[in-house]
Structure 1
């Protein structure tokens, strides 16, 4: 089966690319329609599919009659000899039992079984060997699995794996290749959330719900004409699939990457510590200790020696400490002018008529002179070891890489926290009452001024820009054009890649966004709101302490007065370039979430940001720093420790209300970050949009307060809005009328206090939740090829027609008489953590969703599920079953109620498709009636639930939003992730295989009635 695994392209190398020009009988895998014109192949294909659908009526009657008599769990086994499960359906729910289809697999499969999927599978029951005429051929496989998604992991650099979904038998069918599992981005400004390749979003593209509207043209302005240096880093998880097809869901790629997300890998900055030699200096020989101390203050001495710096302490130590990592005391005007020069050059590289690099503007010696005379100290010996020419581009790249990779010395944008808070340094006046920032009032050093940390960020950005453009020139000229002037080998490129840490890669990503978002200007006049000056030294005498021997030995006081480091960094003005586009993106976000008083909200912002004189007002607003006082009910220490918080239900952020009386006030640093488009890829885009919307709604700020919970939700004016980080939001998303945009949802469900039964309105929520139990071993994304082997359409066993089933959804009305009504959402308030009224934050110790169940078989009863576990719901990937007409004649049994003849009623249709893809019997699954979910203890508590390992539970929640909410709430109560498989989008077999690929325990079937999955684009085949 090597032709199947991992193949993206044509099986046959001599197959023409233009399949439409071939006769229909010769197109093979290029069409989703079976080859009917080829009599031999067609006859065999029809025989194979007939075998899959074939039924032995006596066996089937016996199976159903015995199932009706069983008092407990009903187990129906499908084998190749009897084929009683040729069309698998849920057992009649009147029995109140589980209908299980384990497809002849009763023993747990080995973790590492043979890679050869053609190996004969040995079922639990004795059966005869399959006859040769039933063995599936390559043509059979191409036909019956056309349109079936194939799940795999693609191996990347540094041991990383990238989730992919392909259709290996439909390479040249665009209607199948374009199938997906996510919603399109609603606006062009939202592309800032990702580094993944995607189609450009047109300027006028707006998505309301699931459909694009107001699309005047497909034009995308300012789209680059050519690519630049590939940094080789992507946000994790993939933000393109943050919104699945269904509300409250994510896509396949996003879900797989959650265990290795940036938030999980980059938890907090490393704790500062000196190098190991310094820790043991007292035990070193005298000569070695003297040499170590003598070179302690040399340039680059503390870059790669194992020291982990404390950024704030290093800034306070001044130019002497900066020299130890090779950085000069940079002149601010020089810095700003260089940033603008590099920004202009990069624009020419991307948009110019001719390909250019930084070498077209400056030679290597000029670049060397400018870099090491203005920003860095001359490179020392260890930086020139592999460079034949000390002025070469290679030496410059190595020096920049070593400096920027110095541990702890710079802001680390690998941390999701700094990706969000970077705007706080650019526009908020210190001291900051939240975040991990330097407090200049706690130091009496002359160079520690209020804007020192802002300037240090700008130094980091200009060094990253210098590195980015040199790397781009290296690739373009040194390798692609084979220049004699630049000596760069493939090995050098690998060395550069090895030196670039995750932190350094994110520096390059961040500076690209900075140069895309701003123009940089220098003003010799300080802005109107002057920064806070440091206190007099006398006030800090009590903070002085006696220096240790090491500090005394290495401490140097500058003999000259400081010149550059005390210049106010607010003189660097950042002028945004894309305010109009960002403002439209904000309005789309508010509109899609159903924000109240939307027109009033839009008018307030337009009055400042649009119209005559708006350009000058925006320039002045972005050049003026703002202050944000500490709100009542909070302490600075409490807010600062939230910066690196990794709680799944709590992430606090301090907003600044907009002053409507000030024409230059456009909110706080959050609003400015969004309006500038300075959005670093990752989850921060959703936080910035919601925070910007709240900051600029005066009534919402007055009602809800300035402190928000980005991982929770809030109730306002009788409605609620929830982050998709909250399990409450993901469960309520299935309710009718839910509005979704990126990682936020709007709902009409208002929670109530479980003790007082009073609704909880006009407050923020924090709902305690636990992470679901994880399987032992590595995360699924690190399983490599095992993922595709364990979810392949071909299964893990016999490749015969009798080894496959055709599972379909039966008509709901014929077997399900259960009624489920959503009643309410109740919170148990944690009395010990009850917040003061000024905080506007309600902490819920427990969240319960209540339902009423009605049926002819029992009296109405109330069922409550506690939202205990932070489970995820994954939108099923679209599939398209193969075309064909299959009919078989038999008399339906009394218990079948028309379930098994779903295809025969549509025989007269000309372009009918099969009801789904076949499913190999090695994939065990079980139908679970919804009313029986309350009878089973939590599967996470033990094996008493009756569910077996690797068995996929199928919950039928079709035709009812309340049933889907019921199923989602149950999954949260027991700790089961689930696939949301919509009828008409994904067949049942593909849902089960995707669940196996993700190691997800359940599939929730939703949608209306019984539909055959089909492409959203209708195509006539063969010219018909």
Structure 2
């Protein structure tokens, strides 16, 4: 269940200093001799420039009595560099297959220290069930591991029962963006990897299904010679004829055309009992492969000839010539793999789980009876063909899962037996590997990912008795096998009368019994607990009474066996909700929840609840939607108050609080307020918005907040810059490596850069009354309002920022400052609060570690007082005298309201920002991470000056 059996792209170990660092470093034999210890190097004092207000205090570490420090022009040796940059994160992109790049953060100067791996920029997953959101490698979450806020509890009995082994075949794909870093260290933030991958997210790469079209030859058939036209038509209905000929199918039209059309893509009219029994066989085999004591493959159960016979006599048509071109033996595993690959890769014919929409809605096909009020589904009432009945799409999905499982097992056997064990009867060449990579698409890869979750989630049984509810779904007698009508030229050649031996069988006879209800129920409770859901005790008690106790297995099986029906809310039309399926609106993603139905067994919500409780969670963002929707479906009062249509990209008010999706900028800004609770991609806040005109609180409603995407850097997304990212952010900077070119920037006292008193006042919404409904409020503009007092005596000035842009906040990655000590004093020529280093300090602060890492002069930054942001417009925010690569530093330490102020300003002008917490990340590493991500702003938060955090002192023994 943890996904540990689904490995991420393997990261190559880096035993030496990375190239961008290695190329810059000089060996000790190439430079002049230095009589100083690396830790004794010091740099010149730097004063803040009048026009840049730049904090560039230099470090002067403690000297050993028998050594003199090097001059400002002394070059640093490799040993010097490794010492002073110990604990500094290094940002890079690791090159993968197919032109992909994988964000990585390493510590190249700390290979000797395994504890450095404890440093990160994300929160751990709060529960074992949440590992379903990712395909990336991660440590298994212990069974008793629960995170409440940031505190681990139930750690007394660490164990991981039934942890699966790694599957032999690595699909080689991951969810994008990386869901392990969906929650940064700070509320409302994401991690480095997640942010970099946003421009190339699955939702961007796979925007929607391709438009259907016939193959090019059919489009121009009238211009072909007669012999070629007749030959083309003569093979039109051959098996596999429309798999790779350029046809892009319409899945719903293909289903309506029946078994003759299915034959053209190689698929038989499959007997449901045979399909279900085979699914259970493969499910059992997969469990033995992952959990058994002895390595096993499908070849230990069936020989290659038996696999061929079972596949091509029951499920597919025998392979034709083009499928056997390189196979040699037509019965070989290679030929079977190619046939399955070609069939599943047929464009448009199947459900496409590379689309984030189908990853969410897969449970709707399995548990809800059509016609569906939302989604891109077949409406069986619009066809009079005898094989088009209400369970046809469900059966088609089961067929797709079966074929994907057959392919997965053969691939696993090929890798384990043919490649690792070098078996003679399985000949796999490098060419075969390349050919398979060429044939498989994003859709096929996600078939393999999805079928793993599908097999892990259910037990499969066939029951010849129809479910009691609803009435049997056998086609009504009014449907006749054929309607007599005149056919055109093309249809006359392509039409064949169709008879089906299995079309009158309801696919509800395939019963799915969930395997992990207990674990998934605990995961739901952790989600509700971490968000502070009202009436939580009663909520838990009600669900436990239904899903725990004696005889509950039969009740659960009945709940998953009987199909659901759902009705459309009167406020919405079917057209509105069906449009949502492939919508890529950043502020709106509507989901139709299931209203309570007392006549249903267990009464546990609809297909969404059943998907979560079964663990049918496909990697990606859908986990957060499923959790929140399951929570709402099973809270009767919440459903009555908010209605059944949820906007999972927005938020809602309920019982005096607000809950926000992290997809919404309002939630990301409010997250910095005290009392905010976070779990996965949802936040809970005590701040209730008000109507900007009436001043009344907006209660018991969903919100859709209109936003714009922030301006982008010209050219390619940052993640496609390759090695450029690491060159732009290397700790060594650009230029010479002498002691005089490195500075030690520190924050100074909390009032160094901003003496204003800032208080958050309220949140107001300007509503779009034309689009606002009864339970969904459309917000044209959201305003964060503050009171700013520049002096202690003057009246506060109201300040408002419009939350216009969909900016992101990124948690700074932890660093560990190098060991040493430094003394500070107020420089006689510096303004109040500005710090400089001096060995003759009278008032000193001594640290067991430096207050941060050195920063090369090539990294330009500028402190900007918070009160001056009120004069900065959107255009000013992007061109107010700043250098092209200059980083804006905002000092929001010591106050949650200051941080909210800074976040709101970023949202008003369109700047992403690094949230750099004092004690977690030094100022220099924040600036470098901003350069790595091409982010313009660093918001410094926390209390006090730059000192290592208590967690680091404990972790490293207080060096």
Q: Sort the TM-score into its range (normalised by shorter chain).
A: over 0.9
User: 1:86 maps to which residue?
Assistant: 58
Deviations 1:391-438 (A, max 9, x none): 000000000000000000000000000000000000000111110000
Q: 2:772 aligns with which of 827, 834, 850?
A: 834
User: 1:767 maps to which residue?
Assistant: 705
1:337 aligns with 2:277: yes
Counterparts in 2 of 1:921 and 1:289: CA distance versus 1, 3 Å: same
User: 2:25 maps to which residue?
Assistant: none
In 2, Cα distance between equivalents of 1:750 and 1:217: 40
User: 2:146 maps to which residue?
Assistant: 206
Counterparts in 2 of 1:682 and 1:42: CA distance versus 1, 3 Å: farther
User: 2:626 maps to which residue?
Assistant: 688
In 2, Cα distance between equivalents of 1:768 and 1:1012: 41
State the secondary structure of the residue aligned to 1:520: strand
For residue 211 of structure 1, report the CA deviation from its aligned partner: 1.3
Q: 1:712 aligns with which of 641, 646, 650?
A: 650
1:43 aligns with 2:36: yes
In 2, Cα distance between equivalents of 1:964 and 1:7: 38
In 1, Cα distance between equivalents of 2:843 and 2:321: 80
Whether the 8 Å contact between 2:515 and 2:614 is mirrored in structure 1 is yes
Q: 2:52 aligns with which of 75, 82, 85?
A: 75
Structure 1 residues 847-996: aligned runs within 5 Å: 847-856=782-791, 859-887=795-823, 892-893=828-829, 895-897=831-833, 899-901=835-837, 912-939=848-875, 943=879, 945-996=880-931
User: 1:1000 maps to which residue?
Assistant: 935
User: 2:235 maps to which residue?
Assistant: 295
In 2, Cα distance between equivalents of 1:634 and 1:258: 31
User: 1:149 maps to which residue?
Assistant: 89
User: 1:843 maps to which residue?
Assistant: 778
In 1, Cα distance between equivalents of 2:680 and 2:686: 18
Whether the 8 Å contact between 1:810 and 1:1010 is mirrored in structure 2 is yes
For residue 217 of structure 1, report the CA deviation from its aligned partner: 1.7
For residue 831 of structure 1, report the CA deviation from its aligned partner: 2.2
Counterparts in 2 of 1:504 and 1:132: CA distance versus 1, 3 Å: same
User: 2:4 maps to which residue?
Assistant: none
In 1, Cα distance between equivalents of 2:877 and 2:813: 31
Counterparts in 2 of 1:43 and 1:473: CA distance versus 1, 3 Å: same
State the secondary structure of the residue aligned to 1:449: coil
In 2, Cα distance between equivalents of 1:436 and 1:158: 30
For residue 216 of structure 1, report the CA deviation from its aligned partner: 3.0
State the secondary structure of the residue aligned to 1:219: coil
State the secondary structure of the residue aligned to 1:444: coil
User: 2:187 maps to which residue?
Assistant: 247
User: 1:503 maps to which residue?
Assistant: 443
In 1, Cα distance between equivalents of 2:843 and 2:228: 88
Counterparts in 2 of 1:193 and 1:77: CA distance versus 1, 3 Å: closer
In 1, Cα distance between equivalents of 2:764 and 2:827: 50
Counterparts in 2 of 1:192 and 1:41: CA distance versus 1, 3 Å: farther
Deviations 1:283-332 (A, max 9, x none): 11111111111000000000000000000000000000000000000000
Counterparts in 2 of 1:810 and 1:663: CA distance versus 1, 3 Å: same
User: 1:482 maps to which residue?
Assistant: 422
In 1, Cα distance between equivalents of 2:554 and 2:898: 55
In 1, Cα distance between equivalents of 2:830 and 2:318: 89
In 1, Cα distance between equivalents of 2:297 and 2:392: 32
In 2, Cα distance between equivalents of 1:959 and 1:519: 54
State the secondary structure of the residue aligned to 1:250: coil
Deviations 1:41-92 (A, max 9, x none): 78242442x22xx437xxx4xx67xx4xxxxxx23689xxxxx75379xxxx
Q: 2:666 aligns with which of 728, 731, 741?
A: 728
For residue 666 of structure 1, report the CA deviation from its aligned partner: 1.5
For residue 741 of structure 1, report the CA deviation from its aligned partner: 0.1
For residue 535 of structure 1, report the CA deviation from its aligned partner: 5.6
For residue 983 of structure 1, report the CA deviation from its aligned partner: 0.4
Counterparts in 2 of 1:1014 and 1:544: CA distance versus 1, 3 Å: farther
Q: 1:799 aligns with which of 714, 737, 759?
A: 737
Q: 2:640 aligns with which of 694, 702, 707?
A: 702
For residue 533 of structure 1, report the CA deviation from its aligned partner: 5.2
Structure 1 residues 464-475: aligned runs within 5 Å: 464-475=404-415
In 2, Cα distance between equivalents of 1:645 and 1:916: 46
In 2, Cα distance between equivalents of 1:488 and 1:549: 46
5+ residue gaps, structure 1? 1-5, 13-28, 30-39, 68-73, 79-83, 89-129
Aligned length: 923
State the secondary structure of the residue aligned to 2:938: strand
Task: Output the aligned Cα RMSD.
Answer: 2.4
Counterparts in 2 of 1:941 and 1:908: CA distance versus 1, 3 Å: closer
For residue 215 of structure 1, report the CA deviation from its aligned partner: 2.1
Deviations 1:494-527 (A, max 9, x none): 2112211100000000000011111000001011
Structure 1 residues 183-198: aligned runs within 5 Å: 183-198=123-138
In 2, Cα distance between equivalents of 1:419 and 1:846: 32
For residue 1016 of structure 1, report the CA deviation from its aligned partner: 2.6
State the secondary structure of the residue aligned to 1:429: coil
5+ residue gaps, structure 2? 1-11, 23-32, 61-69
State the secondary structure of the residue aligned to 1:135: coil
TM-score by length of 2: 0.93
For residue 948 of structure 1, report the CA deviation from its aligned partner: 2.8
1:358 aligns with 2:298: yes
User: 2:45 maps to which residue?
Assistant: 55
Whether the 8 Å contact between 2:371 and 2:378 is mirrored in structure 1 is yes
User: 1:446 maps to which residue?
Assistant: 386
In 2, Cα distance between equivalents of 1:678 and 1:723: 21
Counterparts in 2 of 1:291 and 1:954: CA distance versus 1, 3 Å: same
In 2, Cα distance between equivalents of 1:834 and 1:1020: 53
Counterparts in 2 of 1:882 and 1:1007: CA distance versus 1, 3 Å: same
State the secondary structure of the residue aligned to 2:277: helix
In 1, Cα distance between equivalents of 2:35 and 2:126: 44
Deviations 1:777-835 (A, max 9, x none): 00000000000000000001111111111111010145542110001111001122232
In 2, Cα distance between equivalents of 1:1006 and 1:540: 71
Whether the 8 Å contact between 2:651 and 2:660 is mirrored in structure 1 is yes
In 2, Cα distance between equivalents of 1:902 and 1:267: 58
Whether the 8 Å contact between 1:226 and 1:351 is mirrored in structure 2 is no
Counterparts in 2 of 1:55 and 1:374: CA distance versus 1, 3 Å: same
Deviations 1:822-865 (A, max 9, x none): 01111001122232x2xx00001110110000121854200000
In 2, Cα distance between equivalents of 1:588 and 1:852: 37
Counterparts in 2 of 1:250 and 1:546: CA distance versus 1, 3 Å: farther
State the secondary structure of the residue aligned to 2:951: coil
Whether the 8 Å contact between 1:877 and 1:986 is mirrored in structure 2 is yes
In 2, Cα distance between equivalents of 1:719 and 1:531: 45
TM-score by length of 1: 0.87
Counterparts in 2 of 1:398 and 1:905: CA distance versus 1, 3 Å: farther
Deviations 1:167-188 (A, max 9, x none): 0000131221220000000000
User: 1:102 maps to which residue?
Assistant: none
In 2, Cα distance between equivalents of 1:719 and 1:1014: 33
User: 2:602 maps to which residue?
Assistant: 664
State the secondary structure of the residue aligned to 1:900: strand
Whether the 8 Å contact between 2:123 and 2:181 is mirrored in structure 1 is yes
Whether the 8 Å contact between 1:146 and 1:882 is mirrored in structure 2 is yes
Deviations 1:343-367 (A, max 9, x none): 1111111111110110001110000
Counterparts in 2 of 1:188 and 1:889: CA distance versus 1, 3 Å: closer
For residue 8 of structure 1, report the CA deviation from its aligned partner: 2.5
Counterparts in 2 of 1:546 and 1:870: CA distance versus 1, 3 Å: farther
User: 1:8 maps to which residue?
Assistant: 14
Counterparts in 2 of 1:1023 and 1:708: CA distance versus 1, 3 Å: closer
State the secondary structure of the residue aligned to 2:658: strand
Counterparts in 2 of 1:1019 and 1:698: CA distance versus 1, 3 Å: closer
In 2, Cα distance between equivalents of 1:7 and 1:137: 25
